[in-house]
Amino acid sequence: MTFELYHTHHSTCSQKVRIALAEKGLPNKDSDWVAHEVNLGKFEHLTPEYLQLNPNGVVPTLIHDGSVLIESSAIVEYLDEVLPQNDLVPKTSLERAKLRAWMRYIDEVPTVAVRVPSFANLLAPMRFSDYSDSEFAQHSARLPIRKRFYQRMTQNGFGKEEIEYAKEQINQTCERIDIAILEKGGPWIMGQQYTLADVLVTPLIDRMSDLGYNYIWVNRYERMGEWYENIRLRPSFAAAFYPGSKISERYPEAFMTARKLEAERGF
């Protein structure tokens, strides 16, 4: 079986798939799977060639033996089915339905929320601060599924209100993980079995931590904090988050600028 992944080192949705590949026995980029790096800063996800593969113009895209798959949640479910090692989906229908409810929630709430602080002081100023209003509007119009997201911000990112709402949503996610661990006895979201819920939410929590927002859960959601510690001990974490795959490492200058912008803007 050959797997090719079109991905971006620091993209949370790419990290979701890299974790799943590692959990399913394919940890090594370049040797276990073929890596095609898509440079989002150079808008390689919007080229006609890439849009042929992924009409949504986003990463990741997986190619398995010539078949193209998109959408990280669908991809990780597929990987779980086609690769035998380490089941990431529960055996009973009831538990599978509960897992899918987590997966929908993760797609709808924290995945969307995390984009706001990521773009607020960092990705937007890094990519667009020298764009005029009309250049920015033209860029937004090119995006197959993210026009509205870009229209909600400016070349310099989001305002305080949007950040506060995103933080509320991440807080809710952390609280729900904390409660799930209490109810199921942990150590993972669904109890004893490490599942796709853990896979899919990990990069979102890690991005928040990387951006300096871990105060949302530290000293508040202890069980969730322990869960994150345990997650980071799994070999799949080191495989998916290889050196240079976090925003702070990938773009150290933009990261420092973001800290300054935050201090000036007060968020």
Ligand X SMILES: N[C@@H](CCC(=O)N[C@@H](CS)C(=O)NCC(=O)O)C(=O)O
Q: Nearest distance from residue 71's CB to ligand X, in Å?
A: 5
Task: Return all residues near 242 (Cβ < 8 A) that are at least 6 apart.
Answer: 9, 29
Report which residue's Cβ sits closest to ligand X: 58
Q: What are phi and psi of 264, to 5 degrees?
A: -65, -45
| Residue 92, token pair as written in the block | 């009973």
d(CA 208, CA 160): 16
Q: Which is nearer to ligand X, 57 or 191 (CB)?
A: 57
In the complex, minimum distance from the CB of residue 101 to ligand X, in angstroms, rounded to a whole number: 17
Q: Which residues contribute to the site for ligand X (CB under 6 A)?
A: 11-13, 40, 45, 58-60, 71-73
Give whichever of 37 and 229 is closer to ligand X, judged by the CB atom: 37
Report which residue type is found at 220: R
Q: Which is nearer to ligand X, 13 or 116 (CB)?
A: 13
Which residue, 218 or 242, is less far from ligand X as judged by CB?
242
Q: Position of tokens 């909600």? A: 152
Rounded to a whole number of angstroms, the minimum distance from the CB of residue 152 to ligand X is: 14
List, in sequence order, the alpha helices (H) in the chain: 12-23, 48-53, 72-82, 93-108, 110-118, 124-128, 133-141, 147-151, 160-184, 196-210, 222-233, 235-240, 247-250, 252-265
- Minimum distance from CB of 175 to ligand X (Å)? 23
